[in-house]
Structure 1
Amino acid sequence: MTDDPAVSVLMAVRDGAVHLPETIASLRAQADPGGGLEFVVVDDASTDATPALLAAWAEADPRLRVLAAPAPMGLAAALNLGLGHVRAPLVARADGDDLYAPDRLLRQAAALRADPRLDALSCGCVRIDEAGNELARMAPVTGPDRIRFRTLYTSSLLHPGAMIRTAALRAVGGYDAGYWTAQDSDLWARLLAAGGCLDNLLEPLVRYRVHATSLTAKRGAAGRALSLSVPERVQSAYLDGLPPDHDVAATVDLWQGYRPLAPEAIRAGLAGMERIAAVARRREGPEVLADMRATMGRAFWRQARWLGRRRPALAVLLVGYAVRARILR
């Protein structure tokens, strides 16, 4: 190919032979995003049949370039290696075990061309298990302001469903190889800190495979601390520095609501969320404030239900906070 393509699909894979054929088929079936397409795939020192599968793909499809790492690099470093070979102005992330709707790249490229403010755009997804069975349909948060605010607590963009402007990605230095987990959260935070704009398409354009032994599930205390370093720096910037008693972990855990929290963590999370909310009430617009109130209300109700009769006084307090969060205007 002599002309630069419109979109480069960037993928890093290590020992992905089990699901890679399905992923390759879904990528090769992509509609032309308007101006051509290339695939840049980094084989991160695979020891299974992945190199043979990629070689067969390259032989059948001249749009593919395979880069072989001599030793395992990790996802962030492998993606940076591939990024150095990307030729398109738009780079679309893909993982070697997910499946992609045939119009995913076409729709995202059209949306990015239509809105030059956007630096990254992801989408909804269907979560599937290792056998491909549907688990849940996940509707993403939409709206750049809502997504920016939620970065204080969580990542709102599905990484393997994201399309990013190559220039913006390179301008922030690509991926931080120090993040062996939460590479995406770190990237979104750095793009936003540089004045970037992020959004989602509502449509579920990715079938996202969930593994019982995923890195997130087994990352341990060190991985959790690394992941929390992202909201820590975002909250610090938002609050112009963190007070000594500000508990980032409790604040994040209460907002996300994935599990019951101990009473002391709930109280610390309440204090942290209210500290952020006080700044938000002065700084944010109606859309962000409404989303903040709704999310806080749901978080408080959830913990109140989990507490039940074990801690009735705290449960009642949380119910009061939930009601107040929903009615405040």
Structure 2
Amino acid sequence: MNDEICVIVAAMNAERTVARAVASALREEAVREVVVVDDASEDATAHEAWGADDGSGRLKVLRAQKNLGPAAARNLAIARSRAPRIAILDADDVILPGRFAALADAAGDWDMSADNMMFVSEEQAEAYTHLAAFATGGIAERMSFARFVAANISQAGRPRGELGFLKPVMRRAFLDRHGLRYDPSLRLGEDFDLYARMLLAGARFRLVAACGYLAIERADSLSARHAAADLAALVEADDRMLAGHLSPDEREVLLQHRTQCAQRWHHRHFLDAKQKSGLVRALYENRDRPRLLLDAGLGVARDKLALLRPARLPGKSDAAGEPRFLIAPSPVP
């Protein structure tokens, strides 16, 4: 059946959460396969993933002998699966009951179909894990490349809500027809990069007015700190897209995204150099890179301003204990 789905879980050192993620995928009727890639974990990730097996024969657990990173691990799972649609599930997260049924009607002629995401803290996870997928109000929209990239540019004073966090159901035939896979050089922004390249290849991407994905934020998340090399690789990925055929509007918004990524890269590079060699040495070593020093200075200023505001994880629930959404839901009539 064309609506059958493979759920892919790339997991590293996720023994505490991977069984919950796998179980949430297996309970969905549309799921033909769940493929877990244990990305050279040093804990019992693979064992815990198998512990969630429901005996239906749909679960497969692959073991990488060396760490591949999320992009390459997902590519491995895509290669070892067959279902016509592919959905990504992070090992920390949960598919809400009925998610794929809620997306099914919208998926017919779409190459990518995504819904909203609800973010909660680990402490709140149990209270929301069995909540059924639900309508969020508003209307579905078709995503353009320019709209998608613009929604991945952070703005000061706004909680992070980049649409690169989305977990769409993707049509395997479209990926195969255009030779598209995750870029294995990326360990940051690999989702954004793939979705953007799919849109440039003509993918029909629909954002549905529903929520069926529960993202659980933890303070020790692997994505909490980005290495300079990871940020540099994301800049290079933007450069590759900029070298292609883009409309003026597409080029302008992608240049904005690249500029922001480069600023973060320069900031992280300078802080690493300062930690390694001290402030004076870091300034001296980068004396011929005024753009880097300017971006680093701006980054330091932002960090100091952030210290004056209460800390909050991306998407984490507020002080009142209410969850947050990637996209603010519209009032339901």
TM-score range, shorter chain: 0.5 to 0.7
1:218-265, Cα deviation, whole Å (9 max, x unpaired): 11433333334455555673339979xx765556899xxxxxxxxxx9
1:270-301, Cα deviation, whole Å (9 max, x unpaired): xxxxxxxxxxxxxxxxxxxxxxxxxxxxxxxx
Is 1:125 aligned with 2:117? yes
The letter for the 2-side match of 1:42 is: V
Structure 1 match to 2:189:
182
1:180 partner SS:
coil
Q: Distance in 2 between matches of 1:125 and 1:139?
A: 14
Equivalent pair of 1:11/1:42 in contact (CA under 8 Å) = yes
Cα shift at 1:49: 1.6
Question: Structure 2 matches for 1:14-29, cutoff 5 A?
Answer: 14-29=12-27
The letter for the 1-side match of 2:23 is: A
Equivalent pair of 1:129/1:211 in contact (CA under 8 Å) = yes
The letter for the 2-side match of 1:187 is: L
Q: Distance in 2 between matches of 1:208 and 1:221?
A: 25
Is 1:54 aligned with 2:62? no
- Aligned in 2, Cα 1:164/1:145: closer, same or farther, shift over 3 Å? closer
1:223 partner SS:
helix
- Aligned in 2, Cα 1:20/1:216: closer, same or farther, shift over 3 Å? closer
> Structure 1 segments of 4 or more deviating over 6 A?
137-141, 240-243, 251-254
Q: Among 77, 83, 106, which residue is 2:72 paired with?
A: 77
Question: Structure 2 matches for 1:203-242, cutoff 5 A?
Answer: 203-230=210-237, 237-239=246-248
The letter for the 1-side match of 2:187 is: W
Q: TM-score when scaled to structure 1?
A: 0.63
- Aligned in 2, Cα 1:23/1:150: closer, same or farther, shift over 3 Å? closer
Structure 2 match to 1:109:
104
Structure 1 match to 2:85:
90
Residues matched between the structures, number: 247
1:224 partner SS:
helix
The letter for the 2-side match of 1:166 is: R
Q: TM-score when scaled to structure 2?
A: 0.63
Cα shift at 1:214: 3.2
- Aligned in 2, Cα 1:147/1:202: closer, same or farther, shift over 3 Å? farther
Structure 2 match to 1:261:
none
Q: How much is the aligned-residue C-alpha RMSD, in angstroms?
A: 3.8
1:144 partner SS:
strand
Equivalent pair of 1:232/1:248 in contact (CA under 8 Å) = no
The letter for the 2-side match of 1:15 is: N
- Aligned in 2, Cα 1:208/1:247: closer, same or farther, shift over 3 Å? closer
Equivalent pair of 1:147/1:198 in contact (CA under 8 Å) = no
Structure 1 match to 2:8:
10
Cα shift at 1:216: 3.6
Structure 2 match to 1:271:
none
Structure 1 match to 2:38:
43
Q: Distance in 1 between matches of 2:113 and 2:123?
A: 28
1:127-176, Cα deviation, whole Å (9 max, x unpaired): 111323589x99999522456433255152534x3210011223333111
- Aligned in 2, Cα 1:52/1:140: closer, same or farther, shift over 3 Å? farther
Equivalent pair of 2:36/2:60 in contact (CA under 8 Å) = yes
Q: Greater RCO between the two (CA within 8 Å, min separation 6)? A: 2
Q: Distance in 2 between matches of 1:217 and 1:176?
A: 21
Q: Distance in 1 between matches of 2:3 and 2:113?
A: 19
> Where in structure 1 are there 5+ consecutive unaligned residues?
255-264, 266-302, 307-329
Higher helix share: 1
Between 211-220 and 40-49, report the one with greater CA deviation.
211-220
- Aligned in 2, Cα 1:45/1:249: closer, same or farther, shift over 3 Å? closer
Q: Distance in 1 between matches of 2:137 and 2:232?
A: 27
Cα shift at 1:211: 2.7
> Where in structure 2 are there 5+ consecutive unaligned residues?
129-133, 153-161, 264-290, 292-301, 306-333
- Aligned in 2, Cα 1:7/1:153: closer, same or farther, shift over 3 Å? closer
Equivalent pair of 1:58/1:65 in contact (CA under 8 Å) = no
Structure 1 match to 2:172:
166
Structure 2 match to 1:310:
none
- Aligned in 2, Cα 1:230/1:197: closer, same or farther, shift over 3 Å? farther
Q: Distance in 1 between matches of 2:45 and 2:250?
A: 46
1:66 partner SS:
strand
Structure 2 match to 1:291:
none
